């Protein structure tokens, strides 16, 4: 399953009052494991960067001046995400900015039914606990020591690890597969059911000895009580 872990940085909190995107980072994952394919770009917001925003992400107007405009990277961004599900922490915030930028350049918005909000996931899984990205990194023992300031690419990398834990840990991605296909130059396992069950690996003598052992335990065995209840 292909998903895109996404994060952004902005000039402020509200695109309806003129705030703009300044950074987008996307990490492709296959079955919650990063594939190595990323999309990352700094964007010239064509406006100033308020001090409050600069203190958060450290991206100054001077640094961003001359970087690509969103309209110049929109096609590449949309091609990279394709039709994959987007995984975002506090998704409503990022999607408001992304869809505002898409609207500016005459493109269709991305519907929210394509988005998984890890903040909502964390609140369901850990009600009453802090569920910021930093708090979740601490909870799951993910090293976030490099996160001195917010940065879209680093935050997306950390979120990929957090999302894996929220989804059940790395073992949730361990699946049997009978076919390999290439998705965006990355080998991806296609999950298919086993057509026939595996044959027993024990000998007939071992099976008979096991049956004899169980027979000596009588009806006091817990699984015997379960079988009798099930039969009735």
Question: What residues act catalytically?
Answer: 150
Instruction: Give the list of residues 6+ apart from residue 147 with CB closer than 8 angstroms, or none.
Output: 134, 137, 154, 155, 158
Question: Angle at Cα 44 formed by Cα 102 and Cα 18, nearest 5°?
Answer: 60
**Any idea what DSSP says for residue 148?**
S
The size of the chain, in residues, is 232
Using DSSP, state whether 67 is helix, strand or coil: coil
List the one residue out of 8, 3, 38, 22 whose CA is nearest residue 115.
3
Quote the CA–CA distance of 194 and 186 in Å, as a whole number: 24
Identify the DSSP state of 199: P
* Number of neighbouring beta carbons within 10 Å of residue 49: 23
Alpha helix segments (H runs only) across 30-69: 51-57, 61-64
Coil, helix or strand at residue 63: helix
Note the helical H segments in 142-203: 152-166
Is 47:11 a contact under the CB 8 Å cutoff?
yes
């Amino acid at each position: 399953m292909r998903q895109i872990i996404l994060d952004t940085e902005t000039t402020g909190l509200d695109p309806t009052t003129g705030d703009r995107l300044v950074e987008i980072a996307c990490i492709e994952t296959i079955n919650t494991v990063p594939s190595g394919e990323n999309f990352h770009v700094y964007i010239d917001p064509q406006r100033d960067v308020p001090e409050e925003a600069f203190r958060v992400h450290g991206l100054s107007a001077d640094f961003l001046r001359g970087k690509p405009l969103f309209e110049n990277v929109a096609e590449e961004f949309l091609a990279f995400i394709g039709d994959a599900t987007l995984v975002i922490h506090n998704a409503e915030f990022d999607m408001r900015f992304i869809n505002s930028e898409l609207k500016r350049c005459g493109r269709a918005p991305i519907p929210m039914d394509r988005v998984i909000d890890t903040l909502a996931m964390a609140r369901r899984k850990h009600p009453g606990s802090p569920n910021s990205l930093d708090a979740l990194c601490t909870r799951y023992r993910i090293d976030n020591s490099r996160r001195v300031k917010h940065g879209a690419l680093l935050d997306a990398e950390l979120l990929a690890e957090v999302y894996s834990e929220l989804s059940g840990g790395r073992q949730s991605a361990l699946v049997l597969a009978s076919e390999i296909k290439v998705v965006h130059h990355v080998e991806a396992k296609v999950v298919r059911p086993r057509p026939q069950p595996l044959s027993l690996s024990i000998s007939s003598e071992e099976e008979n000895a096991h049956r004899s052992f169980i027979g000596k335990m009588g009806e006091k065995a817990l699984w015997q009580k379960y079988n009798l209840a099930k039969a009735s």
